Amino acid sequence: MEDFETYFQQLIINEEGGIRFYSFDSKKYSNTGVALKKSMPVFYNPIQEFNRSITLIAYKAFQHISESDRNFEILKICDSMAASGIRSIRLFKFLKKPIQIMANDLNPLALKVIQKNIELNSELVSLSDIELFNQDARFLFEDLHNKRIYQNIIDIDPFGTPNIFIESAIKAVNINGLIGITATDTAVLFGVRPSACIRKYNIKSLRSSFLKEVGLRILLYYSASRAHPYMNYIEPMLSFSSDHYIRIFIRIHKGKTGINKNLRNSGYIFWCRKCDWRRSIGMDLHEASFSCPICQSKLDYGGPLWIGSLNNSEYVTECIKTLEDSEKSVIPSKKKILKILNMISFEDKFPPGYFDLHKICDMLNISVAKKTELILESIRNLGYDAARTHIEPRAIKSNVPIERLKSLLIDFHQKNII
């Protein structure tokens, strides 16, 4: 790795959000064109532009909120896994000044690439604007904590599970600060590898018809459980699932009252594999019945996990406003992000779990539901609430009972509406 010049000869110039930068060619380190190999010298995935762009929006919205705090002086950001540095440079260009950005990566080659990218954009940013660190993120967080150099925002975006970084990040962020966490170990969080979920998160996963939402709820609960021993608690600000990863933005607060509120938002989800009935309960399993009230089949369950809101509605509104005020040249995925944020703004008033209309129709052996808007309208006409979810294109969120939804879909099928 010391022979940096050999690696530099492999670099190509990319462009993202109006920033030109060096990176390694992702096509050479991909089997499928989507998933990248760990052998890539410095990680850069062009498909993750959406992730980086929504992160810019989330952090600028948080900056707006923070400025209303009379004790706020300057926004301090730790990009703990900076890789090529494109996120850090885009953040510096996008956010209101003054800001302080720390770009860290364990890979020494990544630091050299970041330096080259800062030099390439010298008219915009300099090495005095973005401070570079070459440490294991956990050690960096502990060092920041020990020196009381607390950050307003910490970004955790690892290749795989974020589990080992969360606790030390909570200690390094300001009270009322924000942590952005990406998890790409979706097979673990979605219940495909249940034993690995117990090993990594100490939580029983649930491979259900709404498994992606379960993954978000596992990551939120795990984050809360890492905060509580330090008398801290979490506030979910924004949570989403996209492609092959999930991402949450949580605010860290302090106090016993908030911890107790977190615990009231924690519990278990029970689900019937045979009929798709579901229910969430609190932490007391004495309340639980393991028999489905609809078909009497044995219920599966997951937890403990987060059963409260996945998002803060005021923050999501601020994100939408920030996005609408941003140029598409700076936020290339603007249209997609706006669509997802608008869906998210309606999702939290519903119970945990979404209804996958494709899977329900398969269960009923009827034609696949395509007219989602008509189905939503019919559910509302029955007196229930319903909305699309950003997680799956053919899934909905609703408080309608599963048997009532099935009857509606069967009726649509018999009338040849679907």
Same structural domain for residues 394 and 252? no
Give pTM, 2 decimals.
0.95
Could you tell me if residue 114 is inside a domain? yes
C-alpha distance across the termini of the chain, in Å: 58
Could you tell me if residue 320 is inside a domain? no
Could you tell me if residue 229 is inside a domain? yes
**DSSP string covering 73-121:** --EEEEETT-TTSHHHHHHHHHSPSSEEEEEE-S-HHHHHHHHHHHHHT
CA distances from 244 to 23, 35, 106, 111, 190 (A): 22, 9, 24, 27, 11
Could you tell me if residue 321 is inside a domain? no
Of 274, 306, 338, which closes a domain? Answer: 306
Indicate the helix (H) or strand (E) that contains 317: helix 313-324
Task: Give the CATH number of the domain where residue 410 resides.
Answer: 3.30.56.70
Question: How many independent structural domains does the chain possess?
Answer: 2
d(C-alpha 117, C-alpha 109), whole Å: 12
| Per-position pLDDT tens, the chain of length 418 | 457 888 888 899 999 999 999 999 888 887 765 667 778 889 899 999 999 999 999 999 999 999 888 778 899 999 999 999 999 999 999 999 999 999 999 999 999 999 999 999 999 999 999 999 999 999 999 999 999 999 999 999 998 999 999 999 999 999 999 999 999 999 999 999 999 999 999 999 999 999 999 999 999 999 999 999 999 999 999 999 998 899 999 999 999 999 999 999 999 999 999 999 999 999 999 889 999 999 999 999 999 999 999 999 999 999 999 999 999 999 999 999 999 999 999 999 999 999 999 999 999 999 877 889 999 999 999 999 999 999 999 999 999 999 999 999 999 998 877 6
Same structural domain for residues 293 and 170? yes
CA distances from 201 to 162, 310, 378 (A): 10, 19, 40
Give the domain range for residue 39: 4-306
Same structural domain for residues 268 and 410? no
Of 241, 275, 306, which closes a domain? Answer: 306
DSSP-derived letter for residue 40 is -
CA distances from 70 to 60, 66, 67, 151, 331 (A): 18, 9, 7, 17, 30
Tokens linked to 174: 């300001």
Could you tell me if residue 406 is inside a domain? yes
Of 284, 306, 328, which closes a domain? Answer: 306
Same structural domain for residues 134 and 202? yes
